[in-house]
């Protein structure tokens, strides 16, 4: 039985690339234009899995997505790091000299800002999604307009790559997570976990938690704070941790449950970087 995988964006997007690489099969892809729609589809049971971007090595965390995972009680069951390569793509009869406008997602435009300094006659226009612009250019046979997108988007919509790898920083990775709703879904031999907790306003409370992780041989790979909207000046902390021995993780989690408020496991899964 084929899986139904929800992605943010359309086919040819970076989310689509991740779904192909992570699942390594031709499963059925459902496209959603926003992360909210993506999460709703998973909660409603229209999808078995959802692929969601969570952080970028240049731009940092996509903070609202942490809240979406937490508020909807979703479980992270996997992760995938994708090397982001931006390409200037347009219809086959276009060259860089013909292009007067480039439409793309604001983040893609920002990540390629230096490239366009050499082409000051090109107007940069913010749009909703990299792949959707490529699709529009292809379907409407637009002239003098290009998109920023992946090689898959160019191939998928029969477009020409005018310039390859136009991103300012060549080492540009985005971390994606794979989500499910079933709380009884288990990943075997996991060595990474995502946790959420709250702390009282006491001096050294966060330092004490970090000391517990260190004492239990746990490696903290990510920490992100989010304000509790209903309680001003109180923050939730989201952390990613890795470990070599599961018993060390169990011990740390047990101690943290005493020291912190509302400790919640957002996911236990394989560390792709190990």
- Intrachain domains 87-160 and 193-267 with the same fold: no
What is the pTM (predicted TM-score) of this model? 0.91
pLDDT of residue 212: 96
Q: Are 46 and 10 in contact (CB under 8 A)?
A: no
Distance CA 39, CA 45 (A): 10
Q: Given this structure, which CATH class describes domain 4-83+172-180?
A: alpha beta
CB under 8 A, 24+ apart: contacts of 214-223: 216/243, 216/248, 216/249, 216/251, 216/252, 216/255, 217/243, 217/244, 217/245, 217/248, 218/242, 218/243, 218/248, 218/249, 218/252, 219/243, 221/192, 222/55
Q: Which fold has domain 193-267?
A: Alpha-Beta Plaits (3.30.70)
Q: Are 79 and 190 in contact (CB under 8 A)?
A: no
The predicted-structure confidence for 17-69, as pLDDT tens digits, reads as follows 999 999 977 679 999 989 999 999 999 999 999 999 999 888 788 999 999 99
The hierarchical CATH code for the domain 87-160 is 3.40.190.10
What are the domain boundaries of the chain?
4-83+172-180, 87-160, 193-267
Mean of the per-residue pLDDT values for the chain? Answer: 93
């Amino acid at each position: 039985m084929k899986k139904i995988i929800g992605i943010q964006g359309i086919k040819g997007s970076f989310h689509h690339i991740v779904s192909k690489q992570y699942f390594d099969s031709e499963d059925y892809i459902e496209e959603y234009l926003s992360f909210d729609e993506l999460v709703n589809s998973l909660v409603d049971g229209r999808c078995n899995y959802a692929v969601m971007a969570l952080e970028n090595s240049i731009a940092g965390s996509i903070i609202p997505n942490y809240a979406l995972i937490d508020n909807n009680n979703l479980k992270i069951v996997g992760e995938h790091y994708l090397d982001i390569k931006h390409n200037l793509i347009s219809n086959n009869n276009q060259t860089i000299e013909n292009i007067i406008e480039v439409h793309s997602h604001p983040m893609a435009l920002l990540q390629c800002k230096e490239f366009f300094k050499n082409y000051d006659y090109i107007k940069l226009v913010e749009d909703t999604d990299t792949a959707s612009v490529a699709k529009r250019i292809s379907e409407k046979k637009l002239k003098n307009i290009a998109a920023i997108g992946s090689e898959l988007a160019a191939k998928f919509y029969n477009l020409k790559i005018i310039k390859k790898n136009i991103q300012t920083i060549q080492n540009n990775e985005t971390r994606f997570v794979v989500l499910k709703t079933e709380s009884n879904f288990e990943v075997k031999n996991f060595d990474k976990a995502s946790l959420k907790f709250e702390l009282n306003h006491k001096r050294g409370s966060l330092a004490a938690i970090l000391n517990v992780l260190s004492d239990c041989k746990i490696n903290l790979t990510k920490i992100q704070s989010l304000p509790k909207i209903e309680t001003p000046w109180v923050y939730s902390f989201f952390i990613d941790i890795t470990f070599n021995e599961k018993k060390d993780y169990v011990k740390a989690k047990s101690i943290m449950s005493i020291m912190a408020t509302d400790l919640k496991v957002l996911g236990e899964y394989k560390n792709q970087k190990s």
